[in-house]
Homo-oligomer: A and B are copies of this chain.
């Protein structure tokens, strides 16, 4: 099957599952959006559930790329967090729905798929943030700053910044080259604030 059609189907299905949750997601809406016939969809997937589970597995595979791509030898927290952000941005560009779909999975509570979700997400949930921030050198931090709190502030700032940029991109419909410069400003503020004088 043409890869473009595959993506059309996957995206349409994800979009509908995100919007409506498993139970209320309509296969009719999916085929309309993907511009294929009802019959085709049920040729590719034996049931709605089958399709849903495929999408979950697909999502897990994509998300796991993050862990693989992280350079664990980079021990500076600001470098590491920028790295993760960069990887996530690339994923977002390639698969714009994948994070929203993941979020919808965590909120899903339909009995029919609940256990399957937990099972398939087990791997990426188990470690979560911990794996991403393994082997970080905290010694550069000012001593009066709790590393865990610093990490939280960084994470929240990163997430907030990302959300803001995505909103901008979605509304203005043009990717900003200044994006990374802008992030660097935030990075500088926090770095100067959190690190001991003279470090790095």
A residues near B (Cβ < 8 Å) are 19-21, 24, 144-146, 149-150, 152-153, 155-157, 159-161, 164, 185-186, 189-190, 192-194
Tell me how far the C-beta of A179 lies from the nearest C-beta in chain B, rounded to whole angstroms.
14
Q: How many copies does the complex hold?
A: 2
Q: Assess the B20–A189 pair: CB atoms within 8 A.
A: no
Tell me how far the C-beta of A170 lies from the nearest C-beta in chain B, rounded to whole angstroms.
13
A185 cross-chain contacts in B, Cβ below 8 A: 146, 149
Q: Assess the A153–B157 pair: CB atoms within 8 A.
A: yes
Q: Assess the B192–A194 pair: CB atoms within 8 A.
A: no
The answer to whether residues A149 and B186 also contact, given A20-B24, A160-B155, A160-B156 and a CB cut-off of 8 A, is yes
Tell me how far the C-beta of A108 lies from the nearest C-beta in chain B, rounded to whole angstroms.
11
A164 cross-chain contacts in B, Cβ below 8 A: 152
User: Complex Cα distance A193/B186, Å?
Assistant: 13
Instruction: Report 7 cross-chain contacts, Cβ distance below 8 Å, ordered by A residue.
Output: A19-B21, A20-B20, A149-B186, A152-B160, A153-B157, A153-B190, A156-B159
Tell me how far the C-beta of A189 lies from the nearest C-beta in chain B, rounded to whole angstroms.
6
